[in-house]
Amino acid sequence: MILFLKILFLIWSINLAPPLLAHFLHDKWNAPLDRGRTFGDGKPILGPHKTIRGVYSATLMGWMVGLIFGFPWYIGFLAGILSMGGDLLSSFIKRRLGMASGSIFAGLDQVFEGVFPFFVITPYFDLSAWETLLLLAFFCVGAYVGSLFFKAVLLDKPFPNYPRPVNSWVRLREFRSCQITSNPLHHFVNFEDSLYYHILMKTAFKALGIYEKGKRNALQIRKHEVTFSFPELPPSFDDYKILFFSDLHLDGLEGLTENLQVVLREVNADLCILGGDFRMETHGPFAEALSHLRRVIPEIRSRDGILGVLGNHDCVEIVGPLQKCGVCFLVNDALPIERNGDRIWIAGVDDPHYYKCHDLAQAFEDVPRGEFCIFVAHSNEVYKEAEAYGPKLYLCGHTHAGQIKLPYVGPVFTHSSAPRRFCEGSWKYGNMAGYTSCGVGVSGVPVRFACSGEVLVIRLKRSAA
């Protein structure tokens, strides 16, 4: 039985190696094995999914796993080569049948890839015909289920108009954070948050007797006004007011929504921008957060509408419901705001922190070089990339300004790879000004110390050149 399991694991690992490497390396070193050439029938020889990288990785995996299991080096090595030979034969046949590269054909996709390694495995281990057929059947079933999961779940759009690039890296993170909702499993796959925030930190603050004070601090939201002056600002946008607030996490602290509503009633702006992180947790359902947002959005008074970007706590599924509430999302996109023949641009990207789906080239694609542009991202971590595209102002959040600060030390954590000078308030990098919001709500443990939530009112002024 142990030998059978080792053989199965060996050929399954060979089968898994190419998609596993594609998951981690994305498009690196993925040159097609057939170099894009066609056969005599005018169809691709193998297709773009069969790469040099895939053949090398499968062969190397077979060699390594074989050695780990105590097989002679050549058994795993040859099993890898033969399995890939069978896989390429299947692809060649599928192209002749007119099937697209990467398509699934039950049986044909597995049979040659499974049979060929047994040319060396069966005689070496003296397997009977029945033992070989049984192992082959188990391999085919496992490989088929694996290919279905990879292609139908990890490489398929979860819903129409899905705005993100479809790749296994992003889809696995979404599965962990968004598709696991009421299932108790999400507590295990997100054990770091559950253990660190909900047990260790909350217990520590309660033991120190400061937990309730921290919650009261977190309910305090200040309206903060700041002015940015630019000689390039079009005349019609002089004194233009932008309401910007980020990191709402409204479902994480009772009373926060009501306090935010009070602050928003005092503000009249030309444009409102939401900086992402609408949900408290990084996993689970967002229905409660959405219900709070539906109470807040009607309190926003902005002449030119409401724009938004996604944060690292946000499921992309929240875009549709919030669009129905009047929020226009910039998911690697840009939108012009026009006034009296002048215009400025707002460019926004998808979350650059956790999902890493930001695409600045796509976001700035329609923005004419030299026109006034404001860039919005959930976090400050792409400040270098952003400055190269020429925006005059970068708006972001994510850090909560630390949320918990110590005297003479500052934030305990910023949860950002950017230098600390970019983690709170106004800053400048090259020709680009920036502002990192303290955020409205709290993340992890619902407390703040030496740091209050904020709603930012930005006033754009045209200055002399």
Domain identity same for 272 and 390: yes
- Is 162 within a domain? no
Q: Which domain holds residue 388?
A: 200-462
Q: How far apart are the C-alpha atoms of 125 and 105, rounded to whole Å?
A: 30
Do 150 and 262 lie in one domain? The reply is: no
Look at residue 179 in the predicted model and tell me its pLDDT: 58
Q: What was the pLDDT predicted at 294?
A: 95
Domain end: 104, 124, 156, which one?
A: 156
Indicate if 381 and 297 belong to the same structural domain: yes
- Other Cβ atoms less than 10 A from the Cβ of 196: the count is 13
Q: Any idea what the CATH number is for the domain that residue 325 is in? A: 3.60.21.10
170: left (phi over 0), alpha (psi -120 to 50) or beta: alpha
- Name the domain count of the chain: 2
- 180 within domain boundaries: no
DSSP string spanning 417-458? SS-GGGSSEEEEETTEEEEE---SS--SSS--BS--EEEEEE
Q: Of the residues 121, 139, 156, which one is the last residue of a structural domain?
A: 156
Task: Say whether both 440 and 331 belong to one domain.
Answer: yes
User: Is 211 domain-assigned?
Assistant: yes
432 strand-pairing partners: 429
Residue 186 located in a structural domain: no
Domain boundary among the residues 93, 127, 156 is at 156
Is residue 135 located within the same domain as residue 256?
no
Judge contact between 82 and 55, C-beta under 8 A.
Answer: no
Within this chain, do residues 131 and 258 fall inside the same structural domain, yes or no? no
pTM to 2 decimals?
A: 0.81
pLDDT along the chain (465 residues), means of 10: 88 86 75 85 85 87 91 91 90 86 78 90 91 90 82 74 79 73 45 54 81 93 96 96 97 94 96 95 84 96 96 91 95 96 96 93 94 97 96 96 87 88 95 96 90 96 85
- Residue 194: inside a domain: no
Judgement on whether residues 22 and 128 belong to the same structural domain of the protein: yes
What is the Cα–Cα distance from 2 to 22, expressed in whole angstroms? 30
Q: 307: which residues sit within 8 A by CB, 6+ positions away?
A: 271, 272, 273, 274, 327, 328, 329, 330, 335, 346, 348, 376
State whether 272 and 418 are in the same domain: yes
Co-location of 74 and 130 in the same domain: yes
pLDDT of residue 176: 74
pLDDT 10s digits, 209-251: 888 999 999 999 999 999 999 999 999 999 999 999 999 999 9
Euclidean distance between CA atoms 273 and 409, whole angstroms: 31
Q: Is residue 66 part of a domain?
A: yes
Distance of alpha carbon 168 from alpha carbon 151, whole angstroms: 9
Place of tokens 């005297």: 407
Are residues 285 and 407 both part of a single domain? Answer: yes
- Crossing angle (nearest 10°) for helices 2-25 and 73-96: 60
Q: Does the residue 118 lie in any domain?
A: yes
Same domain, 252 and 152: no
**Does residue 137 form part of some domain?**
yes
